[in-house]
Amino acid sequence: MNSPQITIVGAGIGGLTLGIELRRRGFDVQIWEATRELREVGAAVALSANATRFYLERFGLESELAAAWAEVDGLIHRDGRTGRIVGRHHTRSSYREQFGAPYVGIHRADLQRILAGAFGAEGLHLSKRVITIDDDGPRATLDFEDGDSAQADLVIGADGARSTVRKLMLGYDFALYSGASASRGIVTPEALSELPDPEAIQFWMGPGAHLLHYPIGSGEQNFFLVQRCPAPWPHKSWVVPVEEGSPLEGFRDWHPAVVQMITAVPVTERWGLFHRPPLSRWSRGRITLLGDAAHALVPHHGQGANQSIEDAIVLADPGMFDRHLSWIHGFRADTEIPDDAAGGTWLSAVCPATFCRAVSCAAHQH
């Protein structure tokens, strides 16, 4: 029996994690990435135990990651103006003890570099922007902007919040403005003399706004400044230029640590924070979605990257195969809805089921 050909579109955190886990399980995996070089969108990412445990326990990346991330020493909520502590949760050690893995901050580029190294150069294709996917034949066919094409038994769209695979699968691309926008930056520790508890992840809260920040492996602080304005979002682009110093407006009377942080580096862009309406299904035929392509969150909810990592692990879980063995032999990969009479059920918004059905079917076909 030949291994089915699995294609992942997108070499971000979720796509690379899935590629590594599928390779570990012996699958033939190809990753197609639109950009010329691997470069993550965004500055840094906070990873909680529901994600870090897999990198440490399954992938054996502890030494590489420990050199690049900072383990967070608790979560602190503060009054944004006075600095008074409103709530304090966990320490570094108590978090590990309760959840079995660390909570960390890491630059996205460092995480992507480490994951790309773990996956390897073979099977990782850059400058390959997908423009169409034809799922009508015996295999799915992907056409790329440069004129090349590829075939696959299963296609996973891991290409982010603005997913091309999602749009091709659904035929539309809706996004909803959350009513909030944000600025962000990375600040060296030398510029933050007013900052208390620099090793913690902290929320400074005030009327209509908050500042989130946490340390990353370089010792710097990654910050995300969120304001509930403007409403509605007046721009066609999600990211717009702003005058340097404009993020300070509305924060001049906040705690000196907040003012110091948001003025320490030039901030010249502002992001409208958009999310996607929930889908009734994440899969169709041989195509499924992962991470932000399936269920995009606004960044300050803090679980976008973590959920893409969880998606990857669940999609590759061999236990999912066993749940469908009673009817899997009768499933055709180009049939959208399995027949209940044959023992199958359609699990809306649960892509692992479709993943396992399509992979197992493809394996039996080869």
CA proximity to 246, closest of 260, 233, 262, 224: 262
Catalytic-role residue among 55, 95, 103, 214 = 214
Q: Are 62 and 204 in contact (CB under 8 A)?
A: no
DSSP letter string, 6-21: EEEE--SHHHHHHHHH
Angstrom distances, CA of residue 341 to CA of 4, 89, 344, 348 = 27, 50, 7, 18
Distance, in Å, from the CA atom of 333 to the CA atom of 44, rounded to the nearest integer, reads: 38
The residue whose two tokens read 């608790």 is 74
Whole-angstrom distance, CA of residue 349 vs CA of residue 281:
4
Give me the amino acid identity at 363.
A
DSSP-derived pairing of the beta strands 269-275 and 239-241: antiparallel
Tokens (6 digits) for 215: 């340390």
For residue 248, the one-letter residue type is L
Please state the φ and ψ torsions of residue 56, each to the nearest 5 degrees: -85, -50
- Strands in 140-144's sheet, in edge-to-edge order, are 130-134, 140-144, 149-152
Is 365 in contact with 334 (CB distance < 8 Å)? no
Cβ atoms 258, 204 nearer than 8 A: yes
Among residues 128, 133, 164, which one has the least CA distance to residue 287? 133
Is 214 a known active-site residue? yes
Cα(63)–Cα(328) distance, rounded to whole angstroms?
A: 41
Rounded Cα–Cα distance for residues 227 and 339 (Å): 48
Cα gap 138→208, rounded to integer Å = 53
What's the CA gap between 357 and 22, in Å, rounded? 15
Distance CA 209, CA 145 (A): 41
Which residues form the catalytic set?
Answer: 214
